[in-house]
């Protein structure tokens, strides 16, 4: 998909940002009043796609450019952003930090989807899941595995599967913290998404230290438009198109 509006598209001089990542927050702070930030929520219940699209279109109305920067593993918000760019003709760029890379010390099993992850995890495995509650619906095939699903927001909701529970924790986590937790609750496999960045890395490093396999769900592919890997690069992209003062 090309930027159909081109450099002549001026709008009101503001930049619309689809957020959800730390980079989106940083970009909004650096741009200040020239920003409209829409925060995606990875734990929204299903069935809200129509209202989310309406809210996005309202946020983007009259803007000069769109930066798509949800959490790197938030496929729904990425798709919404790309669809919004296509429907409105807004010049757009996707801001997605670099992925983690495995080295010889890691035991990663890379899969394309949560459903595929459920196919490669052995029965009776004790799995630390850091994909959020929405992923549980795609893990129902793991009837014999014991799932410990990390939650950063405390709640008393019943666990929807036969074996497992929610595991509440307060970020940020350190590698020693993660090692101690995995030993305490007897984790033997980690299921996560390749988010990149420093915030989620300690659990991956802890699995490496313990010689534990990590089932790593690959990020969704960004199928159209330019991609930048840092806030600085996003600002340079905007400045080059004269929507910001250099």
The per-residue pLDDT of the chain, averaged, comes to: 87
Q: What residue ranges in 113-196 does DSSP mark as E strands?
A: 126-129, 146-151, 164-168, 189-193
Pair type for strands 164-168 and 227-228: unpaired
pLDDT at 244: 61
Whether residue 177 is predicted with pLDDT greater than 70 in this model: the reply is yes
pLDDT at 8: 47
Question: Would you give the distance in Å from CA 179 to the centre of its chain?
Answer: 23
* 15-98+221-240 and 108-217, same CATH topology: yes
Q: How many alpha carbons lie under 13 Å from residue 199 in its C-beta half-sphere?
A: 13
Angle (nearest 5°) at CA 39 between 51 and 7:
95
More confident residue, 231 or 241: 231
**For the residues 85-89, what does the mean pLDDT come to?**
91
For the domain covering 15-98+221-240, report its CATH number. Answer: 3.40.50.1970
For the domain covering 108-217, report its CATH number. Answer: 3.40.50
Instruction: Report domain extents, the chain.
Output: 15-98+221-240, 108-217
pLDDT in tens, 7-24: 445 567 789 999 999 999
**For the residues 135-160, what does the mean pLDDT come to?**
92
pTM, to two decimals: 0.85
Whether residue 126 is predicted with pLDDT greater than 50 in this model: the reply is yes
Whether residue 44 is predicted with pLDDT greater than 60 in this model: the reply is no
Whether residue 160 is predicted with pLDDT greater than 60 in this model: the reply is yes
- Rounded to whole angstroms, the Cα distance separating 173 from 162 reads 28
Residues 198 and 22 sit within 8 Å (Cβ to Cβ): no
Whether residue 78 is predicted with pLDDT greater than 60 in this model: the reply is yes
């Amino acid at each position: 998909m090309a930027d159909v509006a081109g450099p002549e598209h001026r709008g009101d001089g503001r930049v619309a940002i689809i957020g959800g990542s730390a980079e989106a927050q940083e970009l909004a702070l650096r741009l200040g009043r020239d920003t409209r930030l829409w925060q995606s929520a990875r734990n929204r219940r299903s069935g809200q796609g129509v209202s989310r699209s309406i809210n996005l279109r309202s946020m983007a109305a009259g803007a000069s450019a769109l930066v798509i920067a949800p959490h790197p593993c938030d496929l729904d918000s990425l798709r919404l952003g790309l669809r919004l760019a296509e429907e409105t003709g807004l010049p757009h760029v996707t801001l997605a930090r670099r992925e983690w890379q495995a080295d010889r010390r890691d035991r990663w099993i890379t899969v394309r989807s949560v459903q595929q992850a459920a196919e490669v995890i052995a029965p009776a495995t004790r799995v630390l899941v850091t994909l959020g509650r929405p992923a549980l619906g795609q893990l129902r095939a793991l009837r014999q595995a014991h799932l410990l699903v990390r939650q950063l927001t405390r709640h008393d909701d019943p666990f929807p599967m036969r074996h497992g529970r929610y595991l509440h924790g307060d970020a940020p986590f350190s590698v020693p913290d993660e090692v101690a937790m995995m030993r305490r609750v007897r984790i033997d496999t980690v299921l996560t998404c390749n988010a990149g960045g420093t915030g989620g890395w300690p659990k991956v490093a802890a699995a490496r230290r313990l010689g534990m396999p990590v089932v790593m769900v690959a990020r969704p592919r960004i199928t159209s438009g330019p991609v930048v890997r840092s806030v600085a690069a996003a600002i340079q992209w905007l400045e080059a198109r004269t929507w910001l003062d250099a």
